[in-house]
Amino acid sequence: MATLRDIQKRIKAVENTKKITKAMKMVAASKLRKVQSRMMDLRPYADKMHDVLISLAKGADRESHPLLSLRPRKTVEVVVVTSDRGLCGAFNTNILKAAQGAIDNYKKEGFEISISTVGKKARDYFKRRDVAVRHSWTDISGSVRFSSAEEIANDIKENYMNETIDEVNVVYNAFKSMVAQTVTTAKLLPLSPPEEEGEEEASAESAADFIYEPSMEAIFDRLIPRNVDIQIYRALLESSAAEEAARMSAMENATQSCTEMVETLTLQYNKARQASITGELMDIVGGVEALKG
């Protein structure tokens, strides 16, 4: 049975843990406010840029730009975006489970798989399973910079244009609310999926609605590579915001658990102390009765 001193030590340890989890929640809240503001500012720009380029690409010659070219899929690249740190609930587990499911499905369809990771958790996950990772980036989730997105995007664009990979999909957690994150799989390259039957004529007609200035080639050379940068940057910001929200929720739950544990231990301490006092009183009474006898 635990002594009073043991229970006191446990109460103190839990209270110290509670201070840590409460501080981590406050830090996560501060980081979330900053990254959420950047993410919300980028969302409309990223969405509109992607939609416009999809519309332009439908009426364009697929050979007009290397990033528009459609070729038989042989190698599919899966870019998995996780965090560098833990203590954020099921944030990383959900991403890795979705990424593994997508990879297994591609393998069943007969495609070769290329894997790139962003974040230490994804890198370590595949490393433990002896899965080859083509490229890995770390130390990004804490402070997302556009230069980091450009570095990742440049590597992807280079390998796509060299025909090392034929399709690129990004798996990340999209921020929905303070308590909800959605695992998202976004097709990054090629820019749009192959046209379905019956859409070719509609696409040709829609191309007449656009006037290119100075030229289609100049616009595509400028905007299509930039769109890849922006979509990667968006995925990093979304993932970072979702991570901090998940960490806030996890630390709040941990703090609440610490509070409940302290209450339970305090009750246990009071019972043990009462039992100790009662035992001492019984000894005193027994001694007095013995003296009387």
- Residues belonging to the active site: 88
190: cis peptide before it, omega within 30°? yes
Question: Is the Cβ–Cβ distance between 150 and 81 less than 8 Å?
Answer: no
Question: Is the Cβ–Cβ distance between 190 and 165 less than 8 Å?
Answer: no
Question: Is the Cβ–Cβ distance between 149 and 236 less than 8 Å?
Answer: yes
Question: Is the Cβ–Cβ distance between 63 and 217 less than 8 Å?
Answer: no
Write down the residue that tokens 């616009």 correspond to: 219
d(CA 96, CA 79): 11
Question: Is the Cβ–Cβ distance between 173 and 247 less than 8 Å?
Answer: no
Token pair in block for residue 3: 């002594």
Question: Cα separations (Å) of 9 from 19, 95, 158, 272?
Answer: 16, 38, 58, 14
Q: Specify the 3-state DSSP secondary structure of 239.
A: helix
Query: Sign of the C-alpha dihedral, residues 139, 141, 147, 150?
Result: positive
- Closest by alpha carbon to 114, among 78, 82, 67, 164? 78
